[in-house]
Amino acid sequence: MWKKRKTEEKEESLLKELCGDDAKLYDVLGSSLYMDPITAMRTHGISEKDLEILIKEADKSIKDKNYEEAMWKYRLAMDKAIFEATQNPGERGRYIKAIQDLATKTVHATKKAKEKREKEGLTDSAASLDIRIEDYKFMSERVEDIINVASHFYNERLQMLGEQERREVRIEKMREMGREERIEAEEEETRIDEREKTEREARRKARKGNNLDKTR
């Protein structure tokens, strides 16, 4: 789900920092978290749908024995549940249960999809689903750690995306200014960039401090 190499490297670094030495957690979340969750969910058509509706749609695919579709729909619902859990900390318990249930349903759908592929003689394709099954089991077992890491990741990403959007608006306004106004605006832009950089560094140090406290 990563896009654009420079941004990708930056976000991989952030995720590695958050996961620490937990290679499996890093590997699973590297294929689960969105760099821009709002846009990604809008693109998949799930941003405006309630989680319960998405789950019902996936359940229907299972009843219709459309296991490939069910596998995909359950995964989208689980990704949405993880994001919503990070934005609604007061409902953490509800989301933990929802994610665990979705992980179990996704395992079931994936196993059914694997069986179907094997019957069709697609042995290599079927075998590739074993990794997904293990990942979903891992997500069910480590759901609290996943939410913890995702919360830091998404909050930082949303902060950075907001900064980027505001910067683009300022730059657009500068194009319409006269020379003296533009020079003054560019100086202000530099001050804003420095302030945002300082704030990002402060958040990074705070995250690092929290991680150290957990290991003591």
CB count in 10 Å sphere of residue 172: 9
What is the pLDDT, as a whole number, of residue 13?
Answer: 84
The rounded distance, in Å, linking the Cα atoms of 214 and 151 is 16
User: Domain spans of the chain?
Assistant: 21-149, 154-215
- In contact, 81 and 136? CB cutoff 8 Å: no
Exposure on the CB side of residue 118, measured as CA atoms within 13 A: 11
CA 22 vs. chain centroid, Å, equals 17
Taking only the tens place, the pLDDT of each residue in 113-123 is 999 999 999 99
What is the pLDDT, as a whole number, of residue 212?
Answer: 37
What is the pLDDT, as a whole number, of residue 137?
Answer: 97
The tokens describing 13, both together, are: 């670094």
Q: List, for the chain, all residue ranges whose pLDDT scores fall below the cut of 70.
A: 1-12, 185, 188, 193, 199-200, 204-205, 207-216
pTM: 0.78
DSSP-assigned letter for residue 20: T
